[in-house]
């Protein structure tokens, strides 16, 4: 599958101050308020090394970025160390970009380029789990650009921006990683002016068909972005076996009995304006125990499996009235014998109003029944049949 364009994993802006975003959810200036060398109740963690790694030196460094104020300093000769904090104020289902200014020196604070036996990275966990340690830290993603940019950030402030991420709850964890096996010169790192801003720019568009045989980042197929509605449990998603290769798996179920959850994924695709389309998708569904979907609690909505298309290309609101949903998968997979089988479903016919449409995948479990769905092989259909054009009109 060929993309029209895509975001780089990390962007470095050397000694430059860009224009501020329209608004920012979280900004951290690291000015004052240090406790035991850590800013505003940030905390320290370290990996288990053999021999055991000595703890890092953490302290308030003056001045910070811009030659004023303070910065969080972390320096070490040996070990892999983290400074982190979980912060609220993000919204589940919205997209954000985190950025931070970084400067490096040698361990004793003297000017110099750290060796290749040292490293510095920063990361984010969109589930907001307050640790860098496994197994809880499975969604922590790292921007590695600072460790490959010592020629620029040694003695200079450089701004690094991470890749786009979708908040999976109301909190996000930000972590700084500093490590060394260079026990002579080590590394000294300063962090300042952290910013987490909602992304309001353009999204990449992709070409149809989508076979889902692609790279999966944090268990999500390339180009797809998770979206959520309120629910009582956190969902699961994964790369799963498809009809031939891979498929996107969305599970509205958890390890607990309370299975109420409502989420899905969306992706933008290129189309021809004013052309009549409908799209087809293969779906395979069971309940969370691998059997036929059954509405054990008719008071609650669900279980539901559906997919749809939005000719306006909006990709943020799963409740938008512009989405044309096909809800037939729910009824089909509620019929005994249809569970765990692949079946193709089509969207309603629609006219592309622009050169982009958004495609939506969605699952919803109620308080008793979970949904385990796999989605594969999205294809486009067009019609030049005058009879179908007249029927559409």
Confidence of residue 254 (pLDDT cuts 50, 70, 90): low
Residues 229 and 292 grouped into a single domain: yes
How many residues are present in the chain?
Answer: 393
Residues 179 and 225 grouped into a single domain: no
Residue 6 domain-assigned?
no
Residue 244 domain-assigned?
yes
- Tell whether the model's pLDDT for residue 391 goes beyond 90: no
- Tell whether the model's pLDDT for residue 67 goes beyond 60: yes
Residue 288 domain-assigned?
yes
pLDDT for residue 296? 61
- Tell whether the model's pLDDT for residue 96 goes beyond 60: yes
Chain segment 187-210, per-residue pLDDT in tens: 999 999 999 999 988 889 999 999
Residues 327 and 230 grouped into a single domain: yes
pLDDT for residue 358? 97
Please answer whether residues 269 and 207 qualify as being in contact, where contact means their C-beta atoms are separated by less than 8 angstroms: yes
- Tell whether the model's pLDDT for residue 277 goes beyond 70: yes
pLDDT for residue 392? 47
Distance between CA atoms of residues 169 and 3, nearest Å: 29
Least confident of 148-152, 228-232, 252-256, 279-283: 252-256
| Adjacent-strand bridge partners of 367 | none
pLDDT for residue 9? 38
Residues 34 and 158 grouped into a single domain: yes
Residues 354 and 382 grouped into a single domain: yes
pLDDT for residue 150? 95
Percent helix, strand and coil across the chain, each to the nearest 5: 5, 45, 50
- State how far Cα 239 lies from the chain centre: 15
Query: Which of residues 135 and 170 earns the better pLDDT score?
Result: 170
Residues 242 and 350 grouped into a single domain: yes
Residue 266 domain-assigned?
yes
Confidence of residue 259 (pLDDT cuts 50, 70, 90): low
- Highest mean pLDDT of the ranges 25-34, 263-272, 286-295: 263-272
Share of the chain above pLDDT 70, in %: 85
Residue 209 domain-assigned?
no
- Tell whether the model's pLDDT for residue 144 goes beyond 60: yes
Residues 105 and 134 grouped into a single domain: yes
Please answer whether residues 229 and 259 qualify as being in contact, where contact means their C-beta atoms are separated by less than 8 angstroms: no
Q: What is the CATH number of the domain that holds 36?
A: 2.60.120.260
Residues 145 and 276 grouped into a single domain: no
pLDDT for residue 13? 35
Confidence of residue 52 (pLDDT cuts 50, 70, 90): confident
- Tell whether the model's pLDDT for residue 356 goes beyond 80: yes
pTM of the prediction?
0.72
Residue 66 domain-assigned?
yes
- Tell whether the model's pLDDT for residue 386 goes beyond 50: no
Domain boundary among 142, 163, 198: 198
Confidence of residue 138 (pLDDT cuts 50, 70, 90): low
pLDDT for residue 141? 85
Could you give the number of structural domains in the chain? 2
Domain boundary among 169, 198, 227: 198
Q: What is the bridge-based pairing of β-strands 43-46 and 225-229?
A: unpaired
pLDDT for residue 129? 86
- Tell whether the model's pLDDT for residue 136 goes beyond 80: no
Domain boundary among 140, 168, 198: 198
Residue 277 domain-assigned?
yes
Residues 191 and 299 grouped into a single domain: no
pLDDT for residue 300? 62
Distance between CA atoms of residues 276 and 247, nearest Å: 27
Using a 10 angstrom Cβ sphere, with 0-12 exposed, 13-18 middle and 19 or more buried, the burial of residue 334 is middle
Residue 205 domain-assigned?
no
Residues 264 and 231 grouped into a single domain: yes
Q: What is the secondary structure of 311-358 as a DSSP string?
A: TT---S-TT-TTEEEE-HHHHHHTSTT-TT-EEEEEPPPEE-SSSEEE
**Joined tokens for residue 107:** 């361990």
- Tell whether the model's pLDDT for residue 377 goes beyond 90: yes
pLDDT for residue 103? 98
Residues 171 and 226 grouped into a single domain: no
Mark residue 372 as left, alpha or beta (left: phi above 0; alpha: psi -120 to 50; beta: remaining).
beta
Chain segment 145-154, per-residue pLDDT in tens: 999 999 999 9
Distance between CA atoms of residues 132 and 146, nearest Å: 18
Residues 240 and 385 grouped into a single domain: yes
Share of the chain above pLDDT 90, in %: 63
| Mean pLDDT for the chain overall | 86
Range of the domain at 301: 216-392
């Amino acid at each position: 599958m060929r993309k029209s364009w895509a975001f780089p994993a990390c962007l470095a802006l050397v000694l430059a101050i860009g224009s501020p975003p329209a608004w920012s959810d979280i900004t951290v200036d690291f000015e004052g308020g240090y406790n035991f060398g850590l800013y505003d109740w940030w905390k320290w963690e370290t990996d288990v090394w053999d021999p055991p790694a000595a703890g890092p030196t953490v302290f308030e460094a003056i001045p910070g970025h811009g030659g004023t104020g303070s910065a969080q300093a972390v320096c070490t000769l040996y070990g892999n160390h983290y400074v982190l904090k979980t912060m609220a104020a993000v919204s589940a289902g919205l997209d954000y970009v985190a950025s931070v200014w970084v400067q490096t020196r040698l361990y004793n604070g003297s000017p110099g380029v750290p060796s290749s036996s040292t490293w510095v990275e920063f990361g984010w966990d969109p589930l907001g789990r307050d640790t860098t340690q496994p197994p809880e830290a499975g969604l922590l993603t790292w921007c590695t650009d600072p460790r490959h940019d010592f020629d620029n950030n040694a003695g200079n402030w450089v701004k690094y921006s991470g890749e786009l991420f979708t908040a999976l709850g109301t909190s996000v964890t930000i972590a700084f990683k500093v490590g060394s096996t260079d026990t002579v010169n080590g590394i000294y790192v300063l962090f300042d002016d952290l910013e987490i801003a909602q992304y309001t720019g353009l999204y990449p568009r992709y070409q149809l068909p989508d076979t889902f045989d692609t790279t999966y980042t944090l268990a999500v197929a390339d180009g797809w972005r998770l979206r959520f509605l309120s629910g009582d449990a956190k969902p699961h998603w994964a790369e799963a076996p498809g009809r031939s290769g891979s498929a996107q798996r969305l599970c509205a179920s958890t390890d607990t009995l309370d299975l109420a959850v409502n989420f899905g994924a969306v992706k933008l695709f290129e189309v021809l304006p004013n052309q009549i389309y409908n799209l087809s998708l293969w779906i395979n569904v069971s309940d969370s125990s691998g059997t036929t979907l059954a509405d054990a609690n008719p008071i609650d909505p669900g279980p539901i499996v559906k997919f749809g298309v939005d000719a306006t290309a909006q990709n943020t609101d799963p409740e938008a009235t512009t989405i044309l949903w096909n809800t037939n998968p729910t009824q089909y997979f509620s019929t005994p014998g249809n569970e765990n089988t692949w079946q193709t479903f089509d969207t309603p016919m629609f006219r592309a109003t622009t050169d982009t449409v958004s495609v939506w995948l969605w699952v919803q479990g109620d308080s008793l029944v979970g949904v385990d769905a796999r989605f594969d092989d999205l294809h486009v259909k067009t019609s030049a049949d005058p009879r179908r054009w007249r029927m559409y009109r």
